[in-house]
Amino acid sequence: MTIKARHKRFILIAIGLALLGLAVMLILNAFKSNMVFFYTPTQVVSGEVPHGTSFRLGGLVVPASLKRQDDGLTVHFSITDTAKTVEVIYKGILPDLFKEGKGVVAQGKVGANGVFEASEVLAKHDENYMPPEAAEALKRAKEAPADVQLK
Amino acid sequence: MIPEIGHFALILALIVALIQGVFPIIGAARGNAVWMGLAQPAARAQFLLVAVAFICLAYAFATMDYSVTYVASNSNSKLPLQYRIAAVWGGHEGSLLLWAVILSVWTVAVSFFSKHLPSAMRARILGVMGLISVGFLLFMLSVSNPFERLIPAAMDGRDLNPLLQDPGMVFHPPMLYMGYVGFSVAFAFAIAALLGGELDSAWARWSRPWTTLAWVFLTIGIMAGSNWAYYELGWGGWWFWDAVENASFMPWLVGTALMHSLAVTEKRGSFKAWTVLLAICAFSLSLLGTFLVRSGVLTSVHAFATDPRRGLFILAFLVLVIGGSLLLFAWRAPTVGRGGKFGVVSRESFLLANNVLLAVAAISVLFGTLYPLFLDALGLGKISVGPPYFDTVFAPLMAPALFLMGVGPIARWKQATLPELAMRLRWAFGISVATAVILPLLLGHWTPMIGLGLFLAFWIFATTANLVYQRLRGADQPLIARIKSNSYSWWGMVIAHLGIAVFTLGVTVVKGFESEIAVRMAPGDVAHLAGFNFTFEGVTEIEGPNYSASRGHIRITKNGIERTLINPEKRVYHVQNMPMTEAGISPSVIHDLYASLGEPLDGGAWSVRIYHKPMVEWVWFGCLMMAFGGLLAISDRRYRLKGRTKPLPENATEIST
């Protein structure tokens, strides 16, 4: 192999590595800024959620908590993990399987008045199925409260 | 009785698969022709046995045999026949059986179309496929038996998940699996090459059509799934970066890289080790996809009942296949030799860059899909990364890949020069930049993403046009002869690349110009969107075979002229008492007008979602063009079988593709 060819190969590898590094940085950066954490109603009530961040809230829809505003699209309901309850406001159409007393996961932020402003509401996919986040919230609430605080 | 026959056929299939997996490979190592010769009859016998098992299960579904647990949990007497058949792969056990059937179809196809391969090579390929089959059959027979009896038998079945009761269910899973499992052929070729230490351009030529065919199926499968989600979920989306979608997209990305890398290995003898690695990765990701979707680890419709034994088995199987093949790769790859040298600016390096970008894209998807699962499994908290992550990562990774797509086919092999390329492509560049600036301004809305997307789409159009023009130029022959003088595989590439351009254009326009509203509509109310008037004329109640539905009537007019009437439905499936949205769509080349019913409100009013989706059909049409290009490439003359022709020596062909 001539020196020239070796140089070429070296340049090729160097460019490749630089681009790869750039790509990795891009991926990690995008990941960090788009990561959404999950919290339970108990954690929200105890103020564990950093202010102004978007997160996922899971639990059961409190029976008879669903209220519809006059525009027909803005809804209020509450999510509970059986220990604590968080009020939710959502403007939009609820998914097919949204039902009072059933599991639900909502994504959004806590507003100024302490109400969770959901930008997205996800419900379970069939009758027997509970979203893992909702199941987790109930499980954690059943465990000792001290345990919940540790997390 | 029939289910027992099916069960027994599976057991026999496992024994045959063991024979197919063990003896030919040992025979190939020792030069024992008799042992090698076992591969073909075993592959065919295995196909028959697995097919019998599959037919038995389908028969149990068709005749509503609710003494079989799997049938009872996934079917119902009210379910129409076509969905009772599709329900065979509607659950965990049956979809694994479908996997095994499709694997045996590919295996038997290889056994028929491999007469021109050296016998040791053929024995190894069929042997590797036999071993994969052993894994799946063993899994089914030990922890996931579709023929398990239910005693006492159920009076009626629990029904197929209503989401799956759709024509999409009939086509999407088999197509997708044909793609997933098809990569097992490329994988088997790669392992056979590592075992035998023969990795030359003839090897690449043999594995190319198989890889391309698997890729074609995967492309169609993903397209069908995307289209299905679009009209079935009622959210107007066609890609959600859902973990299940990602599971199918990762093998596609790596498979695309593999196709291009195989081209280099065939033409130039370069990238050998890389090609083998990609073949291993493509199939490993297919297996991982099956694991993700079928083990219940994901929050999704596709996830079925969780059973830790199953998870453990699949995990062990994955580790064995992926770890084993990577170890073999590390051990044997140095023996496959270096390929031809190439310059920093050459078609090889453009293809290499494209390969690296596709691989990095696949890794970014893998990371976004698996990392939350890892955290969860380790008890470090629950997180999720949604579409924003994937969107942020994908645009910067795919933009250079699409740009290079315009340059690669024009650049010379081995050594190209930048000034020459720039000279040749200056018009294409000018046209695409001009279009990217002017077109959005005419449409009234310009953002950097729209500009970038349009630039890339028109860049591919223009450079491909330039490529075709250069090839067809000259008046020495009639045009038809000049068209025919280029190989099918070259035309296949042209059409597939144009498909990417069509796809990119569709994605850019729909993402940049789509609009939606959610409104409360009482009968007689009119909603306005994108210059159209949507008049809600109320709902009528209708009865389907196994559901009741409220059928909405929405009349669409523009400037007082009636355009169309769409009928979104809200169905309630009786057995599971599950509501389902069925969107009403008026599709066209220019745009889709789309509406779905939300919930009934007071006084006959409904909440209604209305979408205007410009050029969304182009997204799927682009995929169809890619698939068609792939099919065209496979039908190339040089892949056609001419009986028992001898394999060509290395670098004997220098076809200008």
Comparing alpha-carbon positions, the chain A residue that sits nearest to B598 is A93
State the complex-level ipTM: 0.81
Predicted confidence (pLDDT) at residue B301 exceeds the cutoff of 80: no
Q: What pLDDT, on a 0 to 100 scale, did the predictor assign at position B8?
A: 96
Kindly state the average pLDDT of the residues B510-522.
92
- Write out pLDDT tens, residues B105-130: 999 999 999 888 899 999 999 999 99
- Write out pLDDT tens, residues B458-515: 999 999 999 999 888 876 778 888 888 888 999 999 999 999 999 999 999 999 999 9
Backbone φ and ψ of B551, nearest 5°:
-105, 115
Q: What pLDDT, on a 0 to 100 scale, did the predictor assign at position B36?
A: 93
User: Looking at the complex, does the CB of residue A35 fall below 8 Å from at least one CB of chain B?
Assistant: yes
Comparing alpha-carbon positions, the chain A residue that sits nearest to B609 is A93
CB contact under 8 Å between A72 and B601, yes or no, is: yes
Q: What pLDDT, on a 0 to 100 scale, did the predictor assign at position B308?
A: 67
Comparing alpha-carbon positions, the chain B residue that sits nearest to A58 is B382
User: Looking at the complex, does the CB of residue B415 fall below 8 Å from at least one CB of chain A?
Assistant: no
Predicted confidence (pLDDT) at residue B444 exceeds the cutoff of 50: yes
Q: Please give chain A's pLDDT, 151 residues, in tens.
A: 455 667 777 887 888 788 888 888 888 888 888 888 888 899 888 888 888 888 988 888 999 898 888 777 899 999 998 888 999 999 888 888 788 888 888 999 998 788 999 988 876 554 445 666 677 777 777 764 443 333 3
The predicted model scores a pTM of 0.91
Which has more pLDDT, B56 or A149? B56
Topology classification of domain A37-150: OB fold (Dihydrolipoamide Acetyltransferase, E2P) (2.40.50)
Kindly state the average pLDDT of the residues B188-206.
89
User: Looking at the complex, does the CB of residue B599 fall below 8 Å from at least one CB of chain A?
Assistant: yes
Chain A residues closer than 8 Å to B368 by CB: 31
**Residue B91, both tokens:** 């659950």
Q: What pLDDT, on a 0 to 100 scale, did the predictor assign at position B417?
A: 84
Domain boundaries, chain A: 1-35, 37-150
Model confidence at B645, pLDDT cuts 50, 70, 90, reads: very low
Chain A residues closer than 8 Å to B389 by CB: 30-31, 34-35
Calculate the CA B354 to chain-centre distance: 19
Q: Which of B270, B298, B389 to mutate to test the interface with A (most CBs of A within 10 A)?
A: B389
| Number of CB pairs, chain A paired with chain B, less than 8 A apart | 100
B182 near B210, Cβ under 8 Å?
yes
CB contact under 8 Å between B161 and A151, yes or no, is: no
Tell me how many degrees the CA angle B550-B232-B615 measures, rounded to the nearest 5.
Answer: 115
Counts for chain A of helices (H) and strands (E), in that order: 4, 7
CB contact under 8 Å between B343 and A8, yes or no, is: yes
Contacts of B512 (CB under 8 A, 6+ apart): B440, B445, B447, B449, B450, B453
Q: What pLDDT, on a 0 to 100 scale, did the predictor assign at position B649?
A: 41
CB contact under 8 Å between B301 and A126, yes or no, is: yes
Q: What pLDDT, on a 0 to 100 scale, did the predictor assign at position A17?
A: 85
Q: What pLDDT, on a 0 to 100 scale, did the predictor assign at position B158?
A: 86
d(C-alpha B4, C-alpha B53), whole Å: 9
Q: Which residue reads 């195989």 in tokens?
A: B262
Which among B134, B109, B270, B130 is positioned nearest to B200, based on CA atoms?
Answer: B270
Residue B536's DSSP bridge partners are B554
Kindly state the average pLDDT of the residues B275-280.
95
The minimum CA-CA distance between B223 and chain A, rounded to whole Å, is: 22
CB contact under 8 Å between B356 and A20, yes or no, is: yes
User: Looking at the complex, does the CB of residue B301 fall below 8 Å from at least one CB of chain A?
Assistant: yes
First to last CA, chain A: 59
What 3-state DSSP class applies to B626? helix
Kindly state the average pLDDT of the residues B62-84.
92
d(C-alpha A77, C-alpha B177), whole Å: 42
Q: What pLDDT, on a 0 to 100 scale, did the predictor assign at position B344?
A: 76
Cα–Cα distances (Å) from A151 to A138, A144, B297, B381, B507, in that order, read 14, 12, 22, 8, 42
Task: Specify which of B152-166, B306-320, B586-600 reaches the highest per-range mean pLDDT.
Answer: B586-600
User: Looking at the complex, does the CB of residue A139 fall below 8 Å from at least one CB of chain B?
Assistant: no
Which has more pLDDT, B206 or B377? B206
B657 near B242, Cβ under 8 Å?
no
